[in-house]
Amino acid sequence: MQSGNNQAKYYKLMEHIKEEVLMGRIKPGDQIPSENILSKEHSLSRHTVRKAISMLVNEGLLYTEHGKGTFCLGRQNKRSDSKNIGVITTYISEYIFPRVIQGIDGVLSGSGYSIMLKNTNNNTTNEANCLQDLLGKDIEGLIIEPTKSALFSDNLKFYEAFDKHHIPYVFIHGYNTQLEGKSHVILDDAGGMVSIVEYLAKLGHKNIIGVFKADDIQGINRHKGFARGLTKVGLSYNPDNIIWFHTEDKEVKPYTYIKQFIEEKKEIDAIVCYNDEIAFRTFELLLKLGVKVPQDISITGFDDSYFSENCPVKLTTVNHPKEALGQEAASILLEMLKDDNYQNNPMQKVIEPKLVIKDSCVQR
């Protein structure tokens, strides 16, 4: 029992020192406190402290000089020769992500780089684990789709650590609101949604419902475009016509409210959806409720994904240049790797999407 307790203490100290190094609080060349000091600060035996330090030396985070002490090992040269790039997305195997990743990998592999691919499942704790893990790897740069980018994030400390370690990163699809000034590649989500509202207005739609995601910057910007589009075409914005949802309730909330609107016989002639997946499932719901698309209600999506093409009534949508967006992010990162002053020279690209007219909207 005592052995297990000592092992837990040794791991705890090892992880503490490791975090200090990875987060940049202990910098390359810094001397860590002596065994005596660490023993007193953490109420541990010197044997336990020595074991923790030995493991970190073996991991390549620390090195010991006889008669002088233990120091943080500089890893910049090792990183800069690794030819590894971290890529973090919210998802990997569904929706638009495979083609985005394909675009990233095509550019990076063409320049001799390999990618370390991770996904967060749009969970902030998972994102923290991915970021911390990559801080401990020999990567030269990072491309990341941030998790829940519209919300305040406790994970900003990891981006600060990447800055301290001089590891450049590029946000893709969105960016944390506190890091708007960093390098990023995004779509003009607001502009894309304006084009949808203008198209519906030209078809005579006046009672338009909007369904938007509240916890990412894409959802916020698409809602802004919806409101801007209504003003542009002379229609009034009614907050009661907006359905907001979060990642955790996306399977239920949008459709519960739409069903309620239909049962209440709310006047609706179009439903504008955050993306194609929501639009596809809205179509399935309306079909079950006996509502015809587009004869009774028009529907629009966003992203021009396989959901749009495979819906029984092909969905009018906004295109998402998936591979091009990934290629652009990778190209920007490669430029940042050549620029020693990249932190003061952020590179930002906004891609203009286009309306893709299919079969889910009709003249009113």
User: Does residue 294 have a cis bond before it (omega within 30 degrees)?
Assistant: yes
For residues 244-260, average pLDDT? 97
Please name the residues in contact with 58: beta carbons below 8 A apart, sequence gap of 6 or more: none
- Give pTM, 2 decimals: 0.85
Maximum average pLDDT range among 7-16, 75-84, 160-169, 253-262: 253-262
Distances (CA, A) of 53 to 12, 21, 33, 62, 138: 12, 12, 11, 8, 20
pLDDT of residue 76: 58
Report residue 66: phi and psi, to 5°: -60, 130
Structure tokens at 149: 């980018």
Average pLDDT of the residues in 218-236: 98
Span 2-74: which CATH code?
1.10.10.10
CATH says 189-320 is which class?
alpha beta
Of 18-22, 253-257, 344-348, 359-363, give the lowest mean pLDDT range. 18-22
Sign of the alpha-carbon dihedral angle for 350, 118, 305, 202: negative
For the chain, which residues make up each domain, given as ranges? Answer: 2-74, 77-187+323-351, 189-320
- Specify the pLDDT at position 1: 36
Say which residue, 74 or 244, is predicted with more confidence: 244
pLDDT tens readout for residues 279-300: 999 999 999 999 999 999 999 9
φ/ψ of residue 309, rounded to 5: -80, -30
Fold identical between 2-74 and 189-320?
no
> Does 277 score more than 60 pLDDT?
yes
Could you report the per-residue pLDDT of 20-70, keeping only the tens digit for each?
Answer: 888 888 888 889 999 899 999 989 999 999 999 998 888 888 888 888 899
Residue 288's Cβ-count burial label (10 Å; 0-12, 13-18, 19+) is: exposed
**8 A C-beta contact, residue 354 and residue 195:** yes
CA 236, CA 356: separation in Å to the nearest integer? 25
- The closest alpha carbon to 255, from 216, 221, 209, 217, belongs to 209
Higher local confidence (pLDDT), 74 or 249: 249
* pLDDT for 2: 42
Q: Give residue-wise pLDDT tens across range 179-189.
A: 999 999 999 99
Q: Is the pLDDT of residue 5 over 60?
A: no
CATH class belonging to 77-187+323-351:
alpha beta
Average pLDDT over residues 301-326: 96
